Amino acid sequence: MKNILLTLIAVAGLANAHHGWAAFDSKSTVTFQSTVTEFRFLNPHSVVEFDVKDDHGQVQKWQGELTSASRLSAKGWTATTLEPGNEVTISGYRAQSGVRVLRITKILSPNGTEIKIDSGN
């Protein structure tokens, strides 16, 4: 039975601490005016997919990683806190590898209100 318990514990650990943030460049923050295309309210990390228009008006596809759904739940988040079509301002740290991925540190709704996030792992 111990194996079962350990499995559960492992899954719990998975929710919040399965990887660090070293893959992201925390020395500089970038900010985008974004249109949410998908929000996946998941453990161990919730993920926002969003579109950003570049200087030439071309749409770039981005993904932003948030903390776990369980930690976000404690901040009042639900699966519909972000929905496709939402216009939001997203700030965060870019992936060191150069792929279009952010560790999200801040989200502002269209009226400038901050949507509180939990910055935990």
Partner 1 sequence: MNSVYFLRGGGLFGCLMLVSLVTGQPNVTPAEEGIPVTDPLVIAKCSSCHPRDEREIMQRISWERTTPEDWQEVLKRMILANGVMLTPPEARAMVKYLSTKHGLAPEEAEPVRYAVERRIHDESRMSTENFRTACAKCHALARPLSWRRSREDWQELANMRAARYKVRPSAEVIDLLAKTASLRTPEWTAWNAQTHAPNLAGRWLVSAYVPGRGKYYGEMQADADGDDEFNTRVRLTSIRDGSGIIRTGRSVVYGGYAWRGRSKGSEAVSAAPDAPSSEGREVMWIAPDQSRAEGRWFWGQYQEFGFDVKLRRPSSDATLLAIDPLSLKAGSRANRIRLVGDNIPPQVRTADLDFGPGVSVRRIVSNSPSEVVAEVDVAPDVGLGMRNATYRRSLLPNAIAIYDRVDYVKVTPESAMAAFGNQTRMRGYQQFEAIGYQRGADGRAHTADDVELGPVDVTWSLEIFYAPEGSNTDFVGKLSSTGFFTPDAGNANNNYDVWVIATARSEKDKDGKPLVGKAYMVVTVPTYTFDGRQYVRELDRWVDDGPARSR
Residues forming the site for partner 1 (CB under 8 A): 1-19, 40-45, 47, 63, 68-71, 73-74, 79-80, 83, 95, 97, 99, 101, 120
Query: CA–CA separation, 46 vs 104, rounded Å?
Result: 10
Smallest separation, CB 89 to partner 1 (Å): 22
Complex with partner 1: residue 3 or 112, whichever CB lies closer: 3
Asked if 94 and 105 count as a contact pair (C-beta separation under 8 A), the reply is no
Alpha helices by DSSP H, 21-111: 69-74
Asked if 27 and 103 count as a contact pair (C-beta separation under 8 A), the reply is no
Smallest separation, CB 95 to partner 1 (Å): 6
Complex with partner 1: residue 58 or 80, whichever CB lies closer: 80
Torsional class of 71: left (φ above 0), alpha (ψ -120 to 50), beta (otherwise)? alpha
Smallest separation, CB 40 to partner 1 (Å): 6
Complex with partner 1: residue 3 or 111, whichever CB lies closer: 3
Query: CA–CA separation, 37 vs 112, rounded Å?
Result: 20
Smallest separation, CB 56 to partner 1 (Å): 22
